[in-house]
Each structure stands twice: as structure tokens, then as C-alpha cells.
Structure 1
Amino acid sequence: MACRISELVIDAADAERLAVFWSQVLGYVELGREDDGSIELGPPDAGFGGPQPTLVISPSSDPRTGKLRLHIDVSPTDRDQDTELERLLALGATPVAFGQTGNWHVLTDPEGNEFCLLHSRLRPV
């Protein structure tokens, strides 16, 4: 038996703001809150343990230093990449120029966490 990713955890200075951003990006809903202020997000009607991992936004006052060693890649499901890029920018994403080549866009979320918008369109789960 192998493992699979069940949840991703992102530390955040403003967990509320980041939870709203990622909920809108992924079409996730709030699944719950912990006493420490963590907010768990996930696909509607699936929740933890479903086919997609949940996302936990965890409050943290630790300063971020440098580029993250892990980042999230997202793919559009119901529109082309250019239209999705416009939507992500309107939600608060910021473009980043790392000099990459390829059919993807490097962006940051409202707290500066890097993520990529890929070109390939995926079917919704």
C-alpha cells in the first residue's frame, strides 16, 4: 500500500485572507476551523479523504525567508489559460518573472507564495 497526499498546509500571516484567495482559486469551501486558527478548505461534497487533497491555512508569525522549496501548480478546468490568468490576477495573484521557459505562468498568492498556472486544461474532478 502506498501513501497519497491528503492535505497541504500553508503557513500564513493572515489566514483569513489566504483562505479566501485559495477557496476562490480552487473552488473549495471551508471544511472547518481549529482552535489555533487554522482553516481547512476542500472540494464541496468531498472533504478530507476525497480524490483531491484539502488545503489547511495555518496562522503563523514566523517570517518567511527566501523562495519556497515546494510550490503548487494549478491547471484551468473550464476555460483557457489566458482567461484563467486574468481571473487569478483579479483575485489578487501577482505575476513573477523568473525567466522560465514553457507554457506556464509563475504567480504569487497574496502572501508571496509562488504557484504556477499550467497551460493544460484538466477535467474537473
Structure 2
Amino acid sequence: MACRISELVIDCRDPERLAAFWCEVLGFSVLDREDGSVEIGPEEGFGGPEPTLIFSPGEPAPGKLRLHIDVSPTDRDQAEELDRLLRAGARPADVGQTGEESWHVLADPEGNEFCLLRRRIAP
């Protein structure tokens, strides 16, 4: 295995409200709050067998997906995984990042954006 979905990121108007709703629905807890985003997941926390959900503040725009996937390498470092994903058909995507981020924004062959994180998680 080379990558695993580690996070699903949902753009929304009210991250706190949606996080509370999905915590109730899924039996999750708030794991982190950062820059207006709220991350929820199972009681055991990050890196478990199921992805966490991140509710990110933003006004959904027409033609823009409200959901994107974050993947984390499991058996190699981020640079090696980036190279593998680019060879597989991913391409860099510009969504206004500064270049200081610890992740890479990519697009799949049909243009769907996703992020490659540097955090390593158990396979």
C-alpha cells in the first residue's frame, strides 16, 4: 500500500455547526480546531483505520467541489509518493497556495483536486 485516505475536507459556511451535527451522527469527537476549521474523528483520534472529517470555512462557489480528499503516504516519504502519483497521472494544481504549505495540491486525470499530506499514518 502506498497511500490511504486520511481526511475528507468539506468546505462549508458554518464548520462548528456541521462538526456538531456529524459528531452526533457518527459518534465522533472534535479532534482539532485550527484557522476556523474543525476536525472530527473517532475517539481513538488521528491515524486510525477510518478518515477524519475536516469542516473548512468558505463560501461554496458554483462549479467548485465542496469536498476534497487528503491522502497520506504509508510506506514511503512524501517526496517519493509525490513522484509516484505524478507518474500515475496526477498533476500539480494551483488553488492559491503560498509554497510554504507542508502538503501538495494535485489533480487527478479528470481535474479533481486532492492533497498529498506529509503526515505518515499506519497502513
Query: Relative contact order: is structure 1 or structure 2 higher (C-alpha 8 Å, sep ≥ 6)?
Result: 2
TM (normalized to structure 1)? 0.48
